[in-house]
């Protein structure tokens, strides 16, 4: 058997074994001496694998297939780790099964739900290690990260659930009651804050801004007991509609999460719903989150416009009050002296008296103070917000 025939036989054996284990759609192209594969059902976890066979493959026992891994959306360190795993599989496998061994190794890594958030997992692990005796446990099959945070006699158990289509859909935060020493009433506001911050991050908001925007409502300052007892909460039709909308939104998103993430009973790797149903659910979820974010931004802009309008009205009223208070009285000695000065030609060349000059100076100072107060009130707080 010559060199060409040995290469063709070995290459065909590699392709046949590869097709036996490759899921549908993974093997994209086969040309003489080259195979191209694409793994990952999400654009954020897509991995491209190129296998190149040297001319001596099949005739030389030391000849190995050359693998090239590319994944632009993943961290460079993770891609390097994948490449290292592929190289080890090639070196430890005989001719005929090298491509299949590489594919099996990559399938296991790409099947991890925590693959895209691998840098975040490493950061969480470092933070937990620096705050001993806190602990962290991660499951790549179920896509969950369990944190046991401890400070003195206090402890808090948290579970982060990462969906298949992360980061398009945020991770869900849940408190483990059996591992928590805090009362539920104290924990719930912070869990809601964490879930809201994760939702904003998934919508494209900067993490720091998302955390700041999701802060719980600040408590009001001290009020008198009579005022507190007299205060009555007002429930309007608009607020009720908003509550109903929020409840419907969260119920629908929870149902879509269930469609995309639920597994078959007894098989953690098999989805309970078909690919078409999961795809439709993902699209609807993305559209719902986008609409909700646009509605929130519109509400914020409307609130800012209302605050500016009120500030302008109050500044105008304040300006009118200051203008009225700075006018001198028109009766008494002041009016007679002005009349005498006018009759005797006691005005300056410009036609203004000394008292009018002081009057104008006071009015100018008052207008300047109003302008400064107006700019601070209207532009300052709203710009910072």
Model confidence pLDDT, tens digit, residues 123-136: 888 988 888 888 89
pLDDT surpasses 60 at 14:
yes
pLDDT surpasses 70 at 249:
yes
Is residue 350 a part of any domain in this protein? no
Predicted local confidence at residue 343, as pLDDT: 42
Is residue 184 a part of any domain in this protein? no
Higher pLDDT, 133 or 364: 133
Is residue 349 a part of any domain in this protein? no
**Of 13-27, 263-277, 337-351, 370-384, which has the strongest mean pLDDT?**
13-27
Domain membership of residue 17 as a residue range:
3-110
Predicted local confidence at residue 47, as pLDDT: 92
Q: For residue 103, give the CATH number of its domain.
A: 3.10.110
Beta-carbon contacts of 246 under 8 Å, excluding residues fewer than 6 positions away, are none
Strand order from edge to edge, sheet including 27-31: 27-31, 34-39, 47-52, 66-70
Does residue 316 have a cis bond before it (omega within 30 degrees)? Answer: no
Is residue 288 a part of any domain in this protein? no
Is residue 189 a part of any domain in this protein? no
What Cα–Cα distance (Å) separates residue 261 from each residue in 3, 273, 290? 50, 9, 20
Average of per-residue pLDDT across 306-325: 79
Q: How far is 263 from 300, CA to CA, in rounded Å?
A: 39
- Residues 35 and 18: beta-carbon distance below 8 Å: yes
Confidence of residue 34 (pLDDT cuts 50, 70, 90): very high
Q: How far is 382 from 377, CA to CA, in rounded Å?
A: 8
Confidence of residue 282 (pLDDT cuts 50, 70, 90): confident
Is residue 369 a part of any domain in this protein? no
What is the tally of structural domains in the chain? 1
- Residues 33 and 52: beta-carbon distance below 8 Å: yes
Is residue 77 a part of any domain in this protein? yes
Is residue 12 a part of any domain in this protein? yes
pLDDT surpasses 60 at 362:
no
Describe the crossing of helices 237-261 and 275-325 by its angle, rounded to 10 degrees.
150
């Amino acid at each position: 058997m010559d060199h060409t025939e040995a290469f063709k036989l070995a290459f065909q054996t590699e392709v046949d074994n590869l097709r036996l284990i490759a899921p549908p759609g993974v093997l994209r192209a086969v040309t003489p001496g080259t195979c191209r594969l694409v793994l990952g059902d999400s654009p954020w976890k897509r991995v491209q694998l190129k296998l190149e066979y040297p001319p001596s493959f099949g005739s030389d026992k030391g000849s190995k297939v050359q693998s090239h891994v590319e994944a632009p959306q993943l961290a460079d360190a993770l891609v390097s780790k994948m490449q290292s795993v592929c190289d080890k599989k090639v070196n430890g496998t005989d001719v005929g099964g090298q491509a299949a061994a590489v594919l099996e190794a990559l399938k296991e890594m790409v099947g991890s739900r925590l693959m895209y958030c691998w840098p975040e997992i490493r950061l969480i692990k470092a933070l937990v290690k620096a705050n001993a005796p806190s602990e962290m446990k991660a499951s790549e099959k179920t896509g969950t990260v369990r944190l046991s945070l401890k400070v003195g006699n206090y402890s808090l158990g948290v579970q982060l659930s990462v969906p298949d289509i992360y980061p398009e859909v945020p991770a869900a935060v849940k408190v483990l009651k059996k591992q928590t020493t805090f009362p539920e009433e104290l924990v719930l506001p912070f869990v809601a804050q964490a879930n809201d911050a994760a939702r904003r991050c998934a919508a494209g908001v900067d993490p720091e801004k998302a955390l700041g925007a999701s802060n719980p409502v600040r408590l009001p300052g001290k009020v008198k007991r009579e005022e507190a007892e007299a205060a009555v909460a007002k429930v309007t039709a608009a607020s009720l509609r908003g509550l109903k909308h929020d409840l419907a939104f969260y119920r629908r998103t929870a149902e879509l999460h269930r469609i995309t993430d639920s597994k078959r009973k007894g098989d953690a790797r098999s989805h309970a719903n078909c690919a078409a149903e999961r795809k439709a659910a993902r699209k609807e979820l993305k559209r719902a989150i986008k609409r909700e974010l646009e509605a929130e931004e519109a509400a914020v802009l409307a609130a800012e416009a209302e605050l500016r309008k009120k500030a302008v009205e109050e500044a105008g009223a304040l300006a009118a009050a200051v203008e009225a208070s700075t006018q001198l009285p028109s009766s008494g000695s002041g009016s007679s002296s002005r009349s005498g000065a006018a009759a005797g030609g006691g005005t300056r060349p410009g036609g203004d008296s000394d008292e009018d000059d002081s009057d104008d100076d006071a009015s100018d100072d008052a207008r300047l103070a109003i302008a400064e107060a107006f700019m601070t009130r209207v532009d300052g707080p709203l710009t910072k917000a």
